[in-house]
């Protein structure tokens, strides 16, 4: 079912607005903590969080929450859960699911012990779980908080057959390129605005003696993000929607064009850190940190990924706006692309504790806790932008909120999980194979179409 996908498609002007907001990023440096009443940047102390939502007392109740987050993201989310525990008295345990959330939850359901709340990354997984009867609809308090703070598009993206199930707590702008300012200055490189300029800049940096781009190819989802940005910009929003719903096949000429364009980067001599084989062994966090560490010679000049990379940038010791800057994904076609993603909280068990947590996640209070840490964006329109720790993140977040419903969600996340969201199969596997052999465009298309046809029929 693809009604949710269709409902979140806005006008092209809103898409342009989001792109325009992103274009302001490169000029933004680190700002002060703001004066909007938010917590000091990087602290997120619970006693500074405004309480705009009332939560029940849940003393002694236990709550198990699962998400894919590890590292810096897990730390940020744990602070949110700690604040929820402080307010309600509930005991909350966090359990990392691993990349394959569908398999993890399925095994827990089969064993009779599912987590109370799961943070899903794919709308396709939400629909699959709802269809199987695994999800509990939002209660009245959670639904009311969601309606007050989120646009209709985000509400419907968390729905299935007219019922509200999910709260999009953490979202992302997945059309950003982060770069090492020292390498750019040394090579005499400038921020590219188009794909040909991007490739020329990459070659200039490689000739300078440092690989241009760090690719986290060990995590297949990063490669789907590369493809989606190229495809959206080159083929346009209408084709994007058609491919996302499998109304056109992956053997379509538009897919060939996008893979060919992407292959010019992946197949370029000396452009990727550690080469193609090395990129396939590099996980996403390392792809970011190795761009901003390494003393005089980091392993790469640029790394593509969403705003959430900021946490890894900061973790590498780089200051956003100083050693690290960001520019919008370059235009491959007429317009620069803007792709969004997000993590949606859903209840797998009935009970006041699970519903109370979803109510909290729908509020500005919960978003404010993590926003102060960096590496986080919220689509909550009532979150004060002063909660973010620097001007760059404020600019990214403001653009997402200002776009309203005019966004394109991550295509692989909209697909059935068996095609768009599982390690070692579907899109993840075939794009990893493409990274290994960027010249095999036709073979990659055939494999993608074969798996997509099976997944969309099931």
CATH number for the 176-337+424-457 domain, one of 3.40.190.10, 3.10.20.740, 3.40.50.800, 3.30.1330.10? 3.40.190.10
302-304/62-67 β-pairing: unpaired
Average pLDDT taken over every residue of the chain = 88
pLDDT score at 307: 87
Say what percent of the chain tops pLDDT 70.
88
Residue 451 in tokens: 């798996």
How many angstroms separate the Cα of 348 from the Cα of each of 108, 206, 356? 10, 49, 13
Measured distance CA(195)–CA(165) in Å, rounded: 39
Q: What is the tens place of the pLDDT at every residue in 21-48?
A: 433 443 333 333 333 333 333 343 344 5
pLDDT score at 73: 87
Cα–chain center distance at 30: 22
Measured distance CA(270)–CA(73) in Å, rounded: 32
Identical fold between 3-173+342-409 and 176-337+424-457: yes
Which residues are paired to 179 by β-bridges? 302, 325
Planar angle of CA 9, 153, 168, nearest 5 degrees: 125
* CB environment 109-142: b (16+ within 10 A), e (fewer): beeeebbbbbbbbbbbbbbbbbeeebbbbbbebb
DSSP H stretches of helix in 301-361: 309-315, 352-361
Question: What are the structural domain ranges in the chain?
Answer: 3-173+342-409, 176-337+424-457
How many angstroms separate the Cα of 350 from the Cα of each of 25, 63, 82, 88, 129? 43, 11, 21, 17, 15
pLDDT score at 295: 56
What is the rounded end-to-end Cα distance, in angstroms, of the chain?
Answer: 11
The kind and range of the H/E element at 364 are helix 364-371
Residue 98 in tokens: 């691993």
**3-173+342-409: what fold?**
D-Maltodextrin-Binding Protein; domain 2 (3.40.190)
Q: What is the tens place of the pLDDT at every residue in 374-398?
A: 778 999 999 999 999 888 888 888 8
Q: Could you read off the pLDDT tens digit of each residue along the chain, which spans 458 residues?
A: 333 332 333 333 333 333 334 334 433 333 333 333 333 333 433 445 578 999 999 999 999 999 999 988 899 999 999 999 999 999 999 999 988 888 999 999 999 999 999 999 888 889 989 999 999 999 999 999 999 999 998 999 999 999 999 999 999 889 999 999 999 999 999 999 999 999 999 999 999 999 999 999 999 999 999 999 999 999 998 999 999 999 999 999 999 999 999 999 999 999 999 999 999 999 999 999 999 985 558 999 999 999 889 889 988 999 988 999 999 899 999 988 888 889 999 999 999 999 999 999 999 999 999 999 877 899 999 999 999 988 888 888 887 887 777 678 999 988 888 899 889 999 999 999 999 999 999 999 999 999 999 999 97
């Amino acid at each position: 079912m693809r009604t949710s996908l269709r409902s979140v498609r806005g006008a092209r002007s809103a898409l342009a607005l989001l792109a325009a907001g992103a274009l302001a990023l490169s000029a933004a440096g680190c700002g002060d903590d703001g004066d909007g009443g938010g917590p000091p940047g990087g602290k997120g102390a619970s006693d500074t969080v405004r309480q705009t939502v009332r939560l029940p007392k849940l003393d002694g109740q236990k709550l198990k929450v699962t998400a894919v987050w590890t590292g810096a993201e897990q730390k940020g989310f744990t602070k949110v859960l700690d604040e929820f525990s402080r307010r309600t008295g509930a005991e909350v345990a966090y359990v990392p699911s691993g990349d394959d959330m569908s398999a993890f939850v399925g095994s827990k359901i089969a064993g009779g012990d599912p987590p109370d709340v799961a943070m899903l990354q794919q709308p396709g997984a939400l629909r699959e779980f709802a269809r199987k009867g695994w999800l509990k609809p939002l209660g009245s308090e959670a639904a009311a908080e969601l309606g007050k703070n989120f646009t209709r598009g985000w509400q419907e993206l968390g729905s299935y057959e007219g019922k509200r199930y999910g709260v999009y707590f953490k979202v992302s702008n997945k059309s950003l390129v982060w770069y090492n300012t020292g390498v750019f200055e040394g090579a005499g490189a400038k921020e590219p605005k188009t794909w040909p300029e991007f490739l020329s800049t990459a070659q200039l940096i490689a000739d300078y003696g440092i690989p241009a781009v760090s690719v986290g190819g060990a995590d297949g989802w990063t490669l789907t993000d590369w493809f989606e940005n190229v495809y959206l910009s080159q083929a346009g929003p209408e084709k994007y929607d058609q491919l996302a719903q499998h109304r056109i096949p992956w053997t379509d000429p538009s897919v060939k064009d996008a893979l060919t364009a992407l292959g010019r980067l992946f197949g370029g001599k000396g452009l990727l850190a550690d080469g193609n084989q090395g990129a396939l062994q590099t996980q996403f966090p390392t792809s970011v940190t190795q761009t901003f560490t390494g003393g005089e010679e980091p392993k790469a000049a640029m790394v593509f990924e969403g705003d959430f990379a900021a946490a890894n940038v900061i973790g590498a010791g780089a200051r956003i706006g100083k050693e690290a800057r960001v520019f919008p994904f370059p235009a491959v076609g007429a317009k620069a692309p803007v792709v969004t993603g997000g993590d949606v909280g859903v209840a797998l068990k009935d009970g006041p504790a699970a519903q109370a947590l979803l109510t909290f996640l729908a509020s500005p209070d919960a978003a404010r806790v993590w926003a102060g840490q960096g590496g986080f964006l919220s689509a909550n329109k009532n979150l004060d932008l002063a909660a973010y720790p620097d001007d760059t993140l404020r600019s990214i977040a403001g653009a997402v909120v200002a776009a309203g419903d005019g966004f394109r969600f991550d295509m692989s996340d909209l697909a059935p999980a068996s095609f768009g969201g599982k390690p070692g199969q579907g899109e993840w596997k075939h794009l990893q194979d493409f990274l290994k052999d960027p010249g095999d465009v036709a073979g990659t298309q055939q494999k993608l179409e074969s798996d997509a046809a099976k997944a969309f029929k099931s």
